[in-house]
């Protein structure tokens, strides 16, 4: 790995903030709210921003809109601080040629990394390796493997990536990171053990407890959950982790994160649930572009009541951090 990519890899540590795309009632992207949302993350301490396939609603955007979104976020984040890291992505379903085009676009807009997802049906390791190799050979931008279970071409079920395939892709010079999204602890252990010396590993799903299980095995980062609506939480959590402050870690896990997933995510699912929480915090609207649908008004009233219960807990967390860290 060249010094350029090695230096970038080593900067990916701690919480990674995914960008949730806000919409207006007329279906257009609400760039004013998005601008304020990015500033809110940055002012809370966020430094790694990830425009990504599902949270950023790529399925509901045209390819041109994805490029516009990638450009807007990159420009805004770099304007706030040139040392911030921006990860953008390619469409969920497209040809290798289109992925290469998005790699080049990401490079031209000065993004740091492009997250490449593979949602075509999986037939062979050669098929997937060739895709990533061509993207790497035809661009000069850091590449993140968005690893989540493949859709098998041999029967429609999903299968985890062969670790041997990840091992080969990780040897490509510009491949510097992986979003490990299998949500399978045994498999995650094997992936981390294979890649930890070569790639920055961002684990996803299962909350901060999941990351803690793997943090000492070589997993440097996690994709934020509750930090989407309150970015100071993961910033304080990571500092408490570095200082080995179990009191703060346990408070965040037991008093904030676990109740949130039990009361909101378990009831509404992650994607529309978190949009409702963002509206409850007056950050931006829960509007979605079809075929995604927001929760209705009665459900929204319930979410607002639940979110109020976290206000004192978050205030207590901040007070605890001020006295302990």
Distance, CA of 265 to CA of 306 (rounded, Å): 12
For the chain, which residues score pLDDT lower than 50?
none
Question: What is the predicted pLDDT for the residue at 83?
Answer: 96
Distance, CA of 298 to CA of 121 (rounded, Å): 39
Instruction: Please write down the HEC assignment for all residues of the chain.
Output: CCHHHHHHHHHCCEEEEECCCCECCCCCECHHHHHHHHHHHHHHCCCEEECCCCCCCHHHCCHHHHHHHHHHHHHHHHHHCCCCEEEEECCCCCCHHHHHHHHHHHHHCCCCEEEEECCCCECCHHHHHHHHHHHHHCCCCEEEEEECCEEECCCCCEECCCHHHHHHHCCCCCEEEEEECCCCHHHHHHHHHHHCCCCEEEECCCHHHHHHHHHCCCCCEEECCHHHCCCHHHHHHHHHHHCCCHHHHHHHHHHHHHHHHHHHHHHHCHHHHHHHHHHHCCCCCCCCCCCCCCCCHHHHHHHHHHHHHHHHHHHHHHHHHHHHC
The pLDDT tens digits of the residues spanning 296-313 come to: 999 999 999 999 999 999
Do the bridges between strand 150-151 and strand 158-159 make them parallel or antiparallel, or are there none, so unpaired?
Answer: antiparallel
Distances in whole angstroms, Cα of residue 291 to Cα of each of 27, 59, 269, 300:
11, 9, 15, 19
Question: What is the predicted pLDDT for the residue at 205?
Answer: 86
Distances in whole angstroms, Cα of residue 249 to Cα of each of 17, 47, 323:
19, 21, 14
Q: Residues 156, 102, 178, CA angle at the centre, nearest 5°?
A: 60
Contacts of 324 (CB under 8 A, 6+ apart): 240, 245, 247, 248
- Quote the pTM value: 0.96
The pLDDT tens digits of the residues spanning 158-206 come to: 999 999 999 999 999 999 999 999 989 999 999 999 999 999 999 998 8
Structure tokens at 60: 């509901």
Question: What is the predicted pLDDT for the residue at 111?
Answer: 98
Burial, 256: exposed, middle or buried (Cβ in 10 Å; 0-12, 13-18, 19+)?
Answer: buried
| Phi and psi angles of residue 240, each rounded to the nearest 5 degrees, phi first | -65, -40
């Amino acid at each position: 790995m060249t010094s350029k990519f090695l230096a970038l890899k080593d900067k990916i540590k701690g919480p990674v903030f995914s960008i949730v795309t806000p919409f207006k009632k007329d279906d257009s992207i609400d760039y004013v709210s998005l601008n304020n949302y990015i500033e809110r993350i940055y002012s809370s301490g966020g430094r790694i921003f990830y425009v990504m396939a599902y949270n950023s609603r790529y399925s509901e955007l045209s390819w041109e809109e994805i490029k516009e979104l990638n450009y807007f976020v990159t420009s805004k984040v770099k304007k706030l601080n040139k040392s911030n890291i921006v990860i953008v992505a390619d469409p969920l379903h497209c040809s290798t040629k289109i992925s290469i085009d998005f790699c080049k676009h990401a490079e031209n807009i000065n993004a740091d990394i492009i997250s490449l997802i593979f949602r075509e049906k999986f037939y062979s390791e050669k098929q997937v390796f060739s895709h990533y190799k061509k993207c790497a050979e035809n661009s000069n931008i850091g590449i993140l493997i968005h690893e989540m279970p493949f859709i098998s071409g041999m029967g429609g079920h999903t299968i985890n990536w062969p670790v041997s395939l990840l091992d080969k892709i990780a040897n490509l010079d510009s491949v510097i990171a992986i979003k490990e999204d299998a949500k399978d602890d045994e498999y995650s252990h094997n992936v981390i053990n294979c890649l930890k010396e070569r790639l920055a590993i961002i684990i996803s799903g299962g909350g901060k407890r999941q990351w803690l299980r793997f943090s000492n095995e070589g997993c440097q980062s996690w994709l934020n959950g509750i930090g989407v609506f309150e970015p100071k939480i993961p910033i304080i959590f990571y500092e408490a982790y570095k200082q080995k402050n179990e009191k703060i870690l346990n408070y965040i896990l037991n008093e904030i994160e676990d109740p949130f997933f039990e009361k909101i995510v378990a009831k509404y699912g992650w994607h529309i649930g978190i949009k409702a929480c963002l509206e409850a915090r007056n950050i931006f609207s829960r509007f979605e572009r079809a075929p995604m649908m927001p929760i209705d008004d009665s459900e929204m009233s319930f979410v607002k009541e639940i979110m109020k219960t976290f206000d004192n807990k978050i205030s207590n967390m901040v007070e605890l951090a001020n006295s302990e860290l």
